[in-house]
Amino acid sequence: MAKETKKGGFSVYWIYAILGVALIAFQLYVSGDSHVSLLSKDTLFELVKAKGVKKIEIVNQTSVDFRLSKGGVEFVKKSRGGDYETIKKALKKESSVKGKEIIFQIENIGDLGNFQDDLEEREGKYIMITRINYFSQILSYILPFGIIILIWIFVMRRMSGGGGGGGGSQIFNIGKSRAQVYDKGKSTNITFKDVAGLAEAKIEIVEIVEFLKNPKKYTDIGAKIPKGALLVGPPGTGKTLLAKAVAGEAKVPFFSLSGSDFVEMFVGVGASRVRDLFKQAKEKAPSIIFIDEIDAIGRARGKNNGFNSNDERENTLNQLLTEMDGFGTNSGVIILAATNRADVLDSALMRAGRFDRQIYVDMPDLNERKEIFEVHLKPIKLEPNLDVDFLSKQTPGFSGADIANLCNEAALIAARNGKKKVEKQDFLDAVDRIIGGLEKKNKIITVEEKKAIAFHEAGHATISWLLEFAHPLVKVTIVPRGQSLGAAWYLPDERSITTTEQLLDQMCSALGGRAAEEITFGKISTGALSDLEKVTKQAYAMVSIYGLNKRLGNVSFYDSQGRDAFTKPYSEDTSRIIDEEVSKLIEQQYQRALDTLKENEDKLILLAEKLLKTEVIFKEDLELIFGKRVWDKELEEEIVPKPKKRAKKVVPPSDETESTNA
């Protein structure tokens, strides 16, 4: 275990205290007698001539202190104006303060020789003393340096963020690790019970936690625990949450930090922080290190060095590689990391012996979404018999974070409308709000524009209804929402693979809006921008990535490692062929959309007119115009009832309740 820092040690504030006491003592010293300054030399000369001065002290050959005699006091009382009024006020104060003698001061006497000659001419009766004030001279030299030192200490402590690191400035501890430590008695409130879904990921993570708790169970048969596990997956799927659950369950020191915490403007800081992090982890072994967003320091070396040269980042990565699997031993230290950019990580970081396991945290499927909904709906007041299965089917492609946001948005909508409970419609409105944006009912749109939007959206709806593999329609609206003037909602099928026919039907459906404009008005508009963007990307993917083009054949130019960012892996002739085939593919589907709409032009007009009248149409409205879809079928993926003891197959007995992966 690391040695604990002794409390109550020397603090820099003692320096401030000592200097303060010294200044107070100096003030008391110099104010033993009352001082009156800012008097002129002429006033002193008049008092000397009148024999009213009993003692004159020349201090440091620059200033004069003098005291009045009894005759001088009487002389002052008889005199009027100038410095005499100041002296009279001082004499009045003297009568109220016993035991103090007033010292009158002239701060600048000019040339000392001339001053002494002027005094001799007055032939006064007084005692002349010349003295040197060593204290003030020493102070005049020391004080500037003291002020500079105090300012330096103040600046350094401000740079350290409030004096962390044992009272000294953190500028000297810049190479120290910034990891947040969750030690015994200090852990997160999140456990595996708070992680819904992620069954496969939890199996491997739980195994690591169990090894730290009970290593003998594994070592007895000669097994070795993996040195590291990399959590990979899209944003919002629960990677960081899973790591937090490990911190809450492990009951061992847990070092948590981000990949960007290693990066600093000073050279060598990143590598130094890596060394310090592993040093601390080894001292507290068994322990876990969690590095979030590791792609900040783990990017592949040697890529595009001419454009993005950063030796400091590479030095940090090299040090991390050495610490994870060098000549030194890291017994009892396990490294967890999370990223959504596994494709850019260095291959040396991914090899066995460093990150032995790659745990892919995928988007939740239908059953996992139901589990996530059940967790996030617990704190929300719901209407009776709310169908959670329906909500799960309405949110394909939603991550855990998206579902958490959806539940919160539905509650906000219900509260905004003055409801006491959240209803099914609130969740549907929340889905529309998240996907499409906020409704803009007051947006100014001309009659011609509204008509064009209605026929555009009706074209999408018609094509998607008449084609077998197009996504089932949910609703169509011409109310502006977000950046769009109209929108159509579809419920995409959750497919593992996609055929050529399915892709072509989706392209044709996307081009149905522009095709409807051309058929109805004889002209096209810019309203199909997003449709064209989607179709173009899809066509290029079909031709150059998926190998679905007969002319090019079964070839793919997809670069999963991102190494050909600035070069094309094919010739200029091939590039020309790709462009030709993409254009041909899009035009074929556009002509197909035109032909389909011309055959059903009367139904298209009916649908557009209904849309202009009601502004919103649903699946039922299309069934009245077109009839039921012949190939419509229920979703093959069904929600599987959760077995009573399912959790025992996935996680340890202590983790029977699942929660969210948001």
Catalytic residues: 457
Give buried/exposed letters for 237-271 (b at 16+ CB in 10 A, else e): bbbbbbbbbbbbbbebbbbbbbbebbbbeeeebbb
Is the Cβ–Cβ distance between 49 and 124 less than 8 Å?
yes
- Which has the closest alpha carbon to 361: 210, 203, 216, 169? 203
Distance CA 467, CA 510 (A): 12
Distance CA 62, CA 65 (A): 11
Per DSSP, the chain holds a count of helices (H) and strands (E) of 24, 14
Is the Cβ–Cβ distance between 345 and 297 less than 8 Å?
no
Structure tokens at 272: 């130094």
Look-up of token digits 């009766």: 125
DSSP string over 319-330: HHHHHHSSSS--
Torsional sign, CA 183, 188, 192, 193: positive
Q: Which amino acid does the sequence have at 289? A: I
How many Cα atoms sit within 13 Å of 204 on the Cβ side? Answer: 18
Would residue 228 be called left, alpha or beta, if left means φ above 0 and alpha means ψ between -120 and 50 degrees?
beta
Give buried/exposed letters for 446-471 (b at 16+ CB in 10 A, else e): eeeebbbbbbbbbbbbbbbbbbebbb
Give buried/exposed letters for 575-601 (b at 16+ CB in 10 A, else e): eebbeebbeebbeebbebbbebbeebe
Phi, psi of 489 (to 5 degrees): -105, 130
Distance CA 516, CA 420 (A): 44
The separation between CA 47 and the C-alpha centre of its own chain, rounded to angstroms, equals 77
- Helix, strand, coil shares of the chain as percentages rounded to 5? 50, 10, 40
Nearest-5° angle of CA 41, CA 45, CA 48?
Answer: 135
Is the Cβ–Cβ distance between 191 and 248 less than 8 Å?
yes
Identify the three-state secondary structure at position 539: helix
